[in-house]
Structure 1
Amino acid sequence: MSEDLPDSLKLKILKKWISESGKSSAAKESSSKSTVDLERIVYSKIVDDRGLELIKKVKQLYPEIYPTVLTILHDLINKGVVNELDGYTLYVLFNKYLNIPVKPDIRIRFVKRGKEVDFKEYLEK
């Protein structure tokens, strides 16, 4: 079929294909940059390690919806609904409003000589 086309038409089709592929790659680059910017902004508003743990779990367990979650959190920050993101706020947002079943890891901490330590450190002499 391509042999039936004149060279000028082949050239036009090739130029159009190249320009469209350039646009799509530029769009992909801009979307990845916007994801990085959104991620940087959202991560800067996280105030505790539980919040960071929950958002990393969402990124790990649900990579297909992670950009949407970032967009939603960024919109909430921009509108002033949420000023800072802690573990409890993210837990409620994910489980109740976004229906993303994410739970933090259970950590049992003990006090030994005035310091909070893990169970392994507590049992050591």
Structure 2
Amino acid sequence: MKLYKKYLAKLANKNENSVSAKESVREDPEKVVQSKLSDERAEEIMEKIKIKYPEIYDLLVKELYRAIKQGVVSELDGLTLLSIAHSIGLDIRPDLRIRFVKNGKEVDMKEYLGK
């Protein structure tokens, strides 16, 4: 009987050590998803979802994390995130930006118009 108790204590101690080791290795799903955002528009959309729909944001991050770990998603751009948000019924609108490009370089409006 003493040997059995000793074995159970050893087994319980081993399980505690393995659980603590697994917890220290765990990744933060939000950081993994943030690292896969490919442009500033995607970061903006994720931030808007986080502010406007915090309960859905956590679920979305978990699902995107799962898709990244399974290899289904390699990177996320703004258009893809916006499509996902609209398909699940979220009313997210990115900020409107007007950019003037002249000879492959972004310039202000005065330079673009040549004044």
**Does TM-score exceed 0.5, indicating one fold?**
yes
Q: CA RMSD in A?
A: 2.3
| SS of residue in 2 equivalent to 1:65 | helix
Deviation at 1:72, TM superposition (A): 1.2
Deviation at 1:113, TM superposition (A): 7.0
User: Which of residues 105, 108, 112 is equivalent to 1:115?
Assistant: 105
Give TM-score scaled by structure 2 length. Answer: 0.65
1:49 matched to 2:40? The reply is yes
Q: Deviations over 1:80-101 (max 9, x none)?
A: 22111111111111111x2212
Please name the residue that 1:100 is paired with.
Answer: 90
The count of aligned residue pairs is 88
Which residue identity lines up with residue 88 of structure 1 in the other structure?
Answer: L
Give 5+ residue unaligned stretches, structure 2. 1-22
Q: Runs of at least 4 residues of structure 1 off by over 6 A?
A: none
Give TM-score scaled by structure 1 length. Answer: 0.60
Higher relative contact order (CA 8 A, sep 6+): 2
1:77 matched to 2:60? The reply is no
